[in-house]
Amino acid sequence: MDKIRVRGGSVLAGTVEISGAKNAALPDMVASLLTAEPVHLRNLPYVRDILTTRRLLSEMGVEAEVREDGTSSLKAANVTSLEAPYEMVKTMRASILVLGPLVARFGRARVSLPGGCAIGARPVNLHLMGLEKMGAACEVMHGYVEASTRRLCGAYILMDIVTVTGTENLMMAATLAKGETVLDNAACEPEVSDLANLLRSMGARIEGDGTRTIRVQGVDALHGCAHRVIPDRIEAGTFAAAAAVTRGNVEITHCQPAHMVAILEQLRRTGCNIEVRGDETIRVQGRDPIKSQDVTTLPYPGFATDMQAQYMALMTQGDGAAVITESIFENRFMHALEMIRMGADITIVGRRAVVKGGRSLTGAKVLASDLRASASLILAGLVAKGDTVVDRVYHLDRGYYRIEEKLRRLGADIERIH
Ligand code: EPZ
């Protein structure tokens, strides 16, 4: 199994190009199930989760091609299986996204329930509740949800918790339902709007994405389209945090600063100099001292939970104490335990982590527990004395395209060990 070795002490400098957003590309690919015509995507990140989605769709009979240049062609003209098996869903929870499109187009689906996860319980009850409101019968049997209906009907659906993939699943389902669906307390994440844009180019009638209320007027059929996936705001944020923690000077290109307001504001508060240049470029200059600043993760447009671990790595170098509150997932502090092994002073009390800065970290062998935890341990390794070896980097490969090469080009002493 691959590992990443990083030696601390380099000051990052140079330019890094951001890839397409994994969390937008996944639902975008799955949306191809809604039509028999081809869907062409550009700017996909060539990462493990995208390849898993290709496999999942292929096994259903979708002609699915994904190329390393970031393009993909998907044609669901001959769907032969309406099932997402446990073996797929357990490696990638986002597989649950096929549920809405399958039920909407074919009236039936059998999808394994995801089960436990390293960052929290992550139930999918709201996905099922919404489909039931639209008239689908959902039964859980043998670990699978089996959903069926003659045709979905529009409904008013209030989600009591903001859920990103829940909103995406139900929005896709609603495009082919009879009548109007209102999704209330919907997720406003840019990835939801990216999916709404794709669906609109397929002929869907959607309004209000990017706000808490999304309205979908169902249509009888959707058609093929071409679509460009938005840039990955979390990858961009990760490089911004890497520049900050190493007191580097990094230009981040091909990103969308408008999607990163909370992340950039938070980094500014810690003392970083951040310059937004046009619509697609940011320059981040890390400065001493790094000011310790509290943060709470929130649904978009708040500070993203997917940046919490990387921000914690930054706060280990702060000039005081920072309280990091994780309000989205109940168990997303596993990286803190590894950072403590590297010498960080972090105390966890429930959903709060108190990070006392000013400690010199020392390199260690550490275990990555999830995608963003892996990234945060690399950031910690960038400022630790000596070598840090991050194990279980398959988590990293799920969502970051060649992160070690991108960091190396910025001057980091980092390599992948096979
Ligand atoms: C998406 O996960 C992202 N994944 C996650 O990215 C991200 O951390 C998360 O949104 C929050 O921003 C994808 O987009 C593929 P949620 P999702 O449903 O949709 C609770 C990464 O590192 N909830 O918005 O699964 C849930 O338990 C990752 O790229 C219910 O209670 O997250 C959580 O506490 C990991 N019932 C909260 O809502 C439901 O039916 C938000 O989760 C659904 C969710």
Tens digit of pLDDT for each residue in 331-373? Answer: 999 999 999 999 999 999 999 999 999 999 999 999 999 999 9
Q: Which atom of ligand 1 is nearest to the CA of 128?
A: 40
Distance CA 33, CA 55 (A): 14
pLDDT of residue 363: 98
Query: What's phi and psi for 123, nearest 5 deg?
Result: -70, 170
pLDDT of residue 112: 95
pLDDT of residue 114: 85
pLDDT of residue 120: 80
Whether ligand 1 lies within 6 angstroms of the CB of 305 is answered as: yes
Whether ligand 1 lies within 6 angstroms of the CB of 293 is answered as: no
Whether ligand 1 lies within 6 angstroms of the CB of 137 is answered as: no
Residue 217: how many CB atoms within 10 A of its CB?
15
Distance CA 416, CA 5 (A): 6
pLDDT of residue 182: 98
Q: Which atom of ligand 1 is nearest to the CA of 122?
A: 27
Q: What's the predicted TM-score (pTM) here?
A: 0.98
Q: How far is the CA of 329 from the centre of ligand 1 (A)?
A: 8
Whether ligand 1 lies within 6 angstroms of the CB of 341 is answered as: no
Distance CA 174, CA 172 (A): 5
Q: Which residues of the chain have pLDDT under 70?
A: 116
Distance CA 301, CA 379 (A): 24
117: annotated active-site residue: yes
pLDDT of residue 119: 83
Closest-CA residue, ligand 1 atom 27, reads 122
Whether ligand 1 lies within 6 angstroms of the CB of 292 is answered as: no
